Structure 1
Amino acid sequence: MLVPAVVLIVAGLLTMVSMVEPIAARLRVPTSVAFALLGIGIGVVSLVLQHYYAFDPNGVVQLIVNPPVASSVFIFVFLPILVFQSAVNIDVRQIAEDAGPVLVLSVVAVIVATFFIGGVVHWISGFSLMACLLLGAVVATTDPVAVIGIFRDIGAPSRLGRILEGEALFNDAAAITLFVLFLGYVLEPQPVNIGGTVTTFFLLGGGGAVFGYLVGRVVCVLTALVSDRPMAQVSLLLAAPYLAFIFAEHMLHVSGVVAVVSVGITFNLFGPAYASPVGWGQFHAIAEQLDYWATSLVFVLASVLIPKLLAGATWTDLGLLMVLVLAALVARAVILFVALPLMSRFGLSTAIGGRYGVVILWGGLRGALTLALALSITENPDVSLEVKRFIAVLATGFVLFTVLIQGTTLHILMRLVGLDRLSPLDEALRLQVLSVAQFNVQDQLAKSASLYELPEMQISGAMAEARERVEDFAGFDREHRISLGLVTLARQERELILEQFRERTISFSIVSDMLANSARLIDRARTGGEHGYAEAARKSLGLTTRLKLAHGIHRRLGVDTYFSRLLSDRFEIILASRIVLMQLTPFIHATIEPVLGTEVARRAQELLTERLEAIQRALDGLNLQFPEYSQALKRSFVLRTALRREELEYESLFEQSIIGPELHRDLKLRIAAQREKIDRRPPLDLGLDTCELVKRFPLFSSFNDEQVEEMRSLMTPVFALPGEMLIRKGDRGDAAYFISSGAVEVRAGFRQIRLGTGDVFGELALLTNEPRTADVFSIAYCSLLRLDARTFNSFIASHPDVGAHIESVAKKRLKENKVAAPQAAG
């Protein structure tokens, strides 16, 4: 009978919470508050029924009036999915802008609140310090369900919402870690080891973060392996938070909450690149539904416990509750109005402003997690009854105060401090958008009016007024408007990348890097305007740390595979970026120019043109070095596009019932086989076969096979990246270099000499036994032949013709350097 009763209870609760939302909207009550009131009502009714009626302990009615809700249900069923969903959906890069306030509120504030509340309550109540510190840890964490839900309902400014959402997401880990530490001291009184406690605190959190990241990356790889099965991908993604939480808590004994947060952020950053577009979309849809159920049920079920936990409360408890509320607010105020301003003054944190600080102070709502921790204490047989009642009553009363008092008055406070209104810039932008939208739909409006025989229908007064006030937007600072335009442009670039990925034009191997580059563009445009945007664009074309590392491994160990793959990725990224950027010009004219003005559109187009020119230069360099590979890669892009169009054609024919399911399945299998073949990128041959390089060099063109083989044994092939320093002025000469393909620049003082295919450099130091007289940089991708110093002289002696040519070149360059030296000195 237990299973049907539990199903009945859950179904009934889901029915009730579905009705709560529209009622709360009509009454203008935050949804979280309405859920709390529903739970309290159910709890009161349950207590009354239990008091006046006796039910069969094993019957359905007994389960309804006294649902078996234990702390483990909240912690193991609801907490992982709630934390995970918040971490997956949070804008990590925007949160990073306020990393200082978020980390202070989620870690430092929790620690300060725990100790300040514990100390004050200990001083007033007379309970043991460890019991009071345990109470402080229970009530120190804000609740993501309460905070996010209420701030969404009252329409809080985005930055304010992000700060409190980040705090609510990350502070659970700190509070639960402190809770575990102080519970141990309550259960087994012992001298406090401060050093050990601090070490344990950071080990629990750090271990959870590392383990969560590893779980996230492993699940990402597994998701890619089942890329053609969306439901399998969804199953893996949804299983990950529970696997991470339980393994972290019970096997590794690190913070499970931190592990879940780490898994969620890992999916947030890397998930779109590993999961298929269909799988990622279905995952978000299912996760949002589970989050909705968990959010509503956890609040209702936690609130059901409130009457039970408050049973036997006295007026003394009410006095202690007021002390607890005051202590919590004072501790939070110290962080907001003392610690954060000091950090901001020293450049360690962004400033949050007085109005934001007031709302954040009052917005520290507590909820289900606090009640779950309090309930876990009441369920622990090793905790004394006096401590159980003390923590249960005060923690429950504190949750009631924050939700029913602070939660219902937040919108009033926001109105008083002026945070319920748009900023002047957003207000002007709103008018501009309204005007543009009205202009764009004017023709459709006229047609609809004519269809319904309403020729006199005109633009509404509000729209006309908005149109008249459009010029207000032009009065705002040029830098702000350009920054807004570039952020918009970068966001559209990200959408185009995802669209190309969905269309299968951009391959799985490069989409993650391209999305990271677009995210960097958004961040830098938001914080640094056009300068930041241009800097991020240059960085996106620069050589990555991974590529430089792989090049170093290739140079020192002769391992080419990894370097070749990353160079192939760079080739494909540059080609795909060019395709994406070429689609942004229409967007500038169609969206940015009407909304943000001609000046902003012109500057955005100029920066876009600069990016396209830089990309073309980078692409030309690769084309020159790898012409055959370039053509093969371009053909694959065309074939991917054609294959996607063919696939859409089959889908259309199937939807129109022109072809049946059997033929449709056969055609899909054909498309999949062709796509697998096209997506199999050929390896990039670096072209470092020594014999081939020797034969391509003009000096050695007359060599026979034996001489070529001799040269092959003497020389080492070297592949140089653009901008790489090959020779440093003042160093001891250890080799000469022959350029098989590419170009280098010799920098001697103010003189710059460019050398290309067929030239030799670095030989001067070997002939004169003097230090290097110039710096040499590669200015393109170069294939070089390196001749070591100890074999150089024997080489010259055994090949007099080549030696004579090299000596003549060296003498000419030495003469030029002597002439240039006085000019440089002068």
Structure 2
Amino acid sequence: MDVTPLIAFAAILLLVIAVSEPVAVRTRTPFALVLTGVGALMGLVLSGAGQGAPLIRPPPSGLFLELFLPALIFQAALSTEVRRMLEDGVPILILAVLAVVVATALIGLAIAPVAGMPLLACLLLAALVSTTDPSAVIGIFRSINAPARLVRLVEGESLLNDATAIALFGVFLLALGSGADAPDLLSAALSLPIPLIGGTLLGVVAAIALLAALRLTRELPSAQVTLTLAAPFVASLPAEPLGVSGVVSAFAAGAVLNLAGPARVGPDGWELICRVWGVIAHWVGAAIFLLAALMIPTLLTGFGWAEAGVTLLIAAAALLARAVILWGALPALALVGAGVPIPNRFRSALLWGGLRGAMTLALALAVLESPRVPDELAGRIGALATGYVLLTLVLQGGTLRWLVRRLRIDRLSPIDQALAREAVAVALQTAREEVSDEGRARGVDPEVLRREARLLGERERAAVAEADRSEGVSERDRVTLGLIALAGRERDLVIAARRLGRVPPGLHQRLLGECDRLLELTRSAGRAGYRRAYRSGLRGPWALRASWLLHERLRISGPLERVLESRFELLIAQAGLLEELHPFIDGRIRRIHGRRVTALLHALVDRRVQETREALDALRVQLPGYAEETEARWVRRTALEVEEREYRALHEDRLLDQELHDRLLGELERRRGELDRPPRLDLMARKAALLRGMPALSGLPDPEIRRLARRLHLRRMSPGDLLHRRDDPPGRVHLIGSGAVSVSARTGAYKLGPGEMFGHISVLTRSPRRIEVRALTHGTLFRLDEDRLRALMRHCPILREHVLERARKLGVDPESLSPHREGRGLFWRVRAGARADLTRLMNSEKDDGAARSG
């Protein structure tokens, strides 16, 4: 087999891609449009312009759907901000799923009366033209510094809408091949989630296996890159036999690797993987357009005036469907807090930027290949789809920049202009300081240094004065500018801490995500957005609340262990980084924005430091032993990172030979593997330890303490929580395990701490509650019912005296506490069988629980 023509063709494609990019930049034309034009021209030449046999044949659609598309989707998931994208999951799913479904329905029903094709064929055509290629509008939004959340929405749409369109395409293609007169839309709608959910699970499984392999090759970057090259295909190829989406599988694998990969690979290996995949994605994306465009002359065979009219109708229906989503579904989501408010000018750009591209052409080739579709009908579908792609690329893609200028999207707001001037002033100040330090270190003539420093200082003062005279910028805006600078400085500190080995890779990614959230919300909502951003991080993610419920209700501790360890690490690192912001405020921000803004920023940072330490203290109070062990593990892991950095530096300086270097790194890897297993969160042991430390229960032996721990329900409390409301019916009794509460009674107010209880008087008298109890600090409570309380009091004289003393303080007759007085008072006298009664009660409850679980 002669492979020379194939190699020559590949070389020509690479040369065309290399030349087309600078042409697109200089002519300010979308790169996809340039590639499409060049590809169509090449296809016309290679097809022999209708003379004799064509020089090329249409590439199989599998080349696009099984080779190019999984690789492209995997790289996009690998490089995007997956954590931030998950926060916008609802609007992204609306754009990626609902928008495709609405577009398919509207386009199919609109062209059915005039297309001269069955309804199923019209819906098939609508499905393959409903997927968008928003690469052009993403590039423009990034170049004009559009809101980051808006860019994420468009990126998320581009990642997931292909899967929806392919799933719908498969449903209609199967129905058309079966000879049905009309599609079963209900069955299609119900079956649509199956390939999406199944593809997600398949991708997650593939990613977990990949992460394990990457961990074994930590010191072999080339092997790690090679493993990731196979990842999208390992995830997507089994999808078709399993009946799930290979596109979603590739995306899920890339997303999981994005979240967990930096911690498993290491900084150098992760940077290499991202660089390699960035180049591959550029080649693959351009090759998709070129190869698909080569088939345009073939696909347009038979395209006439009638097809042109249907194409215009498709375009009108597609714009209408996109408008319904942009002006209907997304604003409705924004009203309930699940969407993002989008200005009308951005909506207009999104509407006009819904270009169609290589994926539509690839699906059109799949129709031509399918034996289920008659040749004449397949040719008509391919011609209409190709015509619509060219229409969007030429008409919409060619005029998108003009529309952006007309909508004034490319103009900076006053606050962005002020931020740019402030950035210039800060850059000049940094240049002056670093040039002076570097010059003295290198022994440059002091007179030359003074002269150049004076020139830089004059430019710096002029820039500061210009930033100070910014028109349309109020003091409130100056605070916002200062907070944006603070968030940027915090991001720089995170990057520097990672470079110095002070934070591990996984924590580094989470800290960068928090900084990005600060920047985004501060730009959109100022001081209130800054507070909202960092306080949402202090409250913890939804996964923390869900894992607490799993732990408390079902005693499943694994998820909570991992989430808590991550949260401890994050709060400890943030508390340290925040202290380094005060010198930055005094040094750079004060010179530009003055003392008043500086004082406000100091107060905001101090408040944030206080709230961060309060969140840490809350975890220490609720989980004292676990918190101590987790903090110790963070210190050890950070020490290992610094130790590894030093060993690598010594090896590069030829002070450590290869054998010793490998042995030291192997030992570090072993110790790191031990630290990767979080400390066990044993609820029973923690309950028993807390109960054993309560003075009121000091009379109970250890076996009964452990039995009691199994029957108690743990509850967490936070400052301000209302734990006990006055005049409510009697409920359960609460023992304070940690923390403090305030009690308001008719006789006065007082505080209770660890080892004390409340609620027992109303339970025993079976009367409405007489006190109101609120939490003063973070802490833990244990809940008791009446029977268990009575059993404890029979056996614990100390607890019995504690209850009697509390009753006297509240003005309650101790004799009235017993529902069975019979002349013996509240408590039965201690008798020889008291211990047996308590043990029998505990065992009967244990047997009842075992019977119910059985």
Asked if residue 661 in structure 1 is aligned to residue 661 in structure 2, the reply is no
Matching of residue 241 in structure 1 with residue 237 in structure 2: no
CA–CA distance in structure 1, aligned partners of residues 91 and 111 of structure 2: 27
Q: After superposition, where does 1:507-586 map in structure 2 within 5 Å? A: 521=518, 524-525=521-522, 528-542=525-539, 570-586=567-583
The range that moved more, 133-142 or 118-127, is: 118-127
Question: What CA distance in whole angstroms lies between the structure 1 residues aligned with 2:127 and 2:523?
Answer: 37
Q: In the superposition, relative to structure 1, how do residues 744 and 715 fare at CA in structure 2: closer, same or farther (>3 Å)? A: farther
- CA pair 318-492 structure 1, distance change in 2 beyond 3 A: same
1:75 is matched with 65
Question: Which residue pairs with 1:189 in the alignment?
Answer: 179
**Structure 2 counterpart of 1:823:** none
Q: TM-score, normalised by structure 1?
A: 0.81
CA distance in 1, matches of 2:570, 2:269: 24
CA distance in 2, matches of 1:274, 1:721: 34
Q: Which moved more, 1:92-101 or 1:292-301?
A: 92-101
SS at match of 1:87: helix
3-state SS, counterpart of residue 292 of structure 2 = helix
Whichever residue aligns with residue 427 of structure 2, its letter is: A
1:255 lines up with 2:255 in the alignment: no
Measured against aligned partners, the alpha-carbon deviations of 1:169-204 in whole angstroms (never above 9, x if no partner) come to 333233223322322333233242232232233444
Q: Secondary structure at the match of 1:365?
A: coil
Which has the larger displacement, 27-36 or 310-319?
A: 310-319
Q: Could you say which residue in structure 2 is the equivalent of 1:808? A: 805
1:90 to 70, 77, 80: 80
Query: What letter is aligned with 1:6?
Result: L
Q: 1:608 aligns with which of 605, 610, 622?
A: 605
One-letter code of the match for 2:175? Y
Q: How many residues align?
A: 801
Q: Is the 8 A contact 2:746 2:770 kept in 1?
A: no
Corresponding residue to 1:170 among 148, 160, 166: 160
The match for 2:839 is none
Alpha-carbon distance in structure 2 between the residues aligned to 1:812 and 1:307:
95
Q: Is the 8 A contact 2:432 2:453 kept in 1?
A: no
The residue identity in structure 1 corresponding to 2:11 is A
- Quote the offset at 1:155 in angstroms: 8.4
Counterpart residue number, 1:470: 467
**Quick check: 1:147–1:363 contact (8 Å CA) kept in 2?**
yes
Tell me, yes or no, if the aligned pair for 2:696 and 2:798 is still in contact at 8 Å: no
- Contact 1:154–1:411 (Cα < 8 Å) also in 2: no
Query: Which deviates further from its counterpart, 678-687 or 292-301?
Result: 678-687
Which of 240, 250, 267 is the aligned partner of 1:277?
267
- Aligned twin of 1:200: 191
CA distance in 2, matches of 1:625, 1:456: 55
What is the one-letter code of the residue matched to 1:302?
A
| Contact 1:98-1:163 at 8 Å conserved across structures | yes
Q: CA deviation at 1:268?
A: 4.4
CA 1:257–1:503 in structure 2 vs 1: closer, same or farther (change >3 Å)?
A: same
Quote the sequence identity (%). Answer: 35
CA distance in 2, matches of 1:35, 1:454: 52
Contact 1:146–1:403 (CA under 8 A) maintained in structure 2:
no
What displacement does 1:604 show? 3.5
- Whether 2:4 is the aligned partner of 1:14: answer no
Q: Which AA in structure 2 matches 1:18?
A: A
Q: What residue in structure 2 maps to residue 821 of structure 1?
A: none
Over aligned residue pairs, what C-alpha RMSD do you find? 4.7
* Shift of residue 685, structure 1, vs aligned partner: 7.4
> How far did residue 74 of structure 1 move?
1.0
Q: Distance in 2 between matches of 1:678 and 1:348?
A: 38
Over 3 Å counting, the alpha-carbon distance change for 1:779 and 1:426 in structure 2 is same
The aligned runs of 1:436-451 (5 Å cut-off) are 436-442=426-432
Three-state SS of the structure 1 residue aligned to 2:810 is helix
Q: Which residue of structure 2 aligns with residue 406 of structure 1? A: 396
- C-alpha separation between the residues in 2 aligned to 1:805 and 1:473? 69
**2:771 corresponds to:** 774
Q: Rate the CA distance shift 1:206–1:141 in 2: closer, same or farther, 3 A.
A: same
1:279 maps to a residue whose letter is G
Give the match for residue 37 of structure 1.
Answer: 37
Give the 3 Å change call, closer, same or farther, for CA 714–803 of structure 1 in structure 2: farther
SS at match of 1:123: coil
CA offsets 1:694-734 (integer angstroms, 9 cap, x no match): 77555677x7xxx7468748854866644377766545465
8 A Cα contact 1:32 1:150, kept in partner? no
- For 2:386, the equivalent position in structure 1 comes to 396
Q: Secondary structure at the match of 2:409?
A: coil
Match for 1:432: what amino acid?
Answer: E
Q: How far apart are the structure 1 equivalents of 2:763 and 2:565?
A: 36
Taking a change above 3 Å as real, the CA distance of residues 547 and 312 of structure 1, as seen in their structure-2 partners, is closer
Structure 2 vs 1, CA of residues 114 and 617 (structure 1 numbering), >3 Å: closer, same or farther?
closer
Q: 2 CA distance for matches of 1:532 and 1:323?
A: 44
Matching residue of 1:57: none
Change (3 A) 1:234 1:131: same
- The answer to whether the Cα contact below 8 Å between 2:732 and 2:760 also exists between their aligned partners in 1 is no
The one-character-per-residue Cα deviations of 1:89-109 (angstroms, maximum 9, x if unpaired) are 334566678778755554444
2:283 paired residue number = 293
Q: Which moved more, 1:154-163 or 1:743-752?
A: 154-163
For 1:393, the aligned partner's letter is A
Moved more, 618-627 or 314-323: 618-627
Task: Give the counterpart letter for 1:243 in structure 2.
Answer: V
Q: What's the CA shift string for 1:524-564, capped at 9, x where partnerless?
A: 54555433433444444447666666666666677778767
The two structures have a TM-score, normalised by structure 2, of 0.79
Aligned-partner Cα distance in 2 for 1:749–1:241: 69
Question: For structure 1, which segment, 151-160 or 466-475, has the greater mean C-alpha deviation from structure 2 after superposition?
Answer: 151-160
Q: For the residues of structure 2 that align with 1:696 and 1:339, how far apart are their CA atoms?
A: 57
Alpha carbons of 1:442 and 1:735: their partners in 2 closer, same or farther (altered >3 Å)? closer
Q: Are 1:385 and 2:375 matched, yes or no?
A: yes
For each residue in 1:348-370, what CA deviation from the matched residue of structure 2 results, as whole angstroms up to 9, or x when unmatched?
75453443343333322221111
Distance 1:123 1:514, change over 3 A: same
What SS class does the counterpart of residue 415 from structure 2 fall into?
helix
Q: Deviations over 1:452-483 (max 9, x none)?
A: 99979957999987555323447425555544
For 2:147 and 2:778, the matched residues in 1 are separated by: 49
Q: 1:757 to 1:109 in 2, by over 3 A?
A: closer
SS in 1 for 2:411: coil
Distance 1:316 1:570, change over 3 A: closer
SS in 1 for 2:809: helix
2:406 is matched with which residue?
416
Aligned letter for 1:168?
S
Contact 2:356–2:393, Cα closer than 8 Å, also in 1: yes
In the TM superposition, residue 76 of structure 1 has moved relative to its aligned partner by 0.9
Instruction: Please say if residues 370 and 395 of structure 1, whose CA atoms lie closer than 8 Å, have aligned partners that are also in contact.
Output: yes
Whether the 8 Å contact between 1:100 and 1:350 is mirrored in structure 2 is no
Q: CA distance change for structure 1 residues 721 and 359 in 2, over 3 Å: closer, same or farther?
A: closer
Task: Please give the alpha-carbon distance, in whole angstroms, between the structure 2 residues aligned to 1:252 and 1:359.
Answer: 39
Equivalent residue number for residue 133 of structure 2: 143
Q: Which moved more, 1:412-421 or 1:43-52?
A: 43-52
- Distance change in 2, residues 1:436/1:324 (3 Å): same
Distance in 1 of aligned mates of 2:763 and 2:69: 70
Question: Equivalent residue for 1:127?
Answer: 117
* Structure 2 letter corresponding to 1:421: R
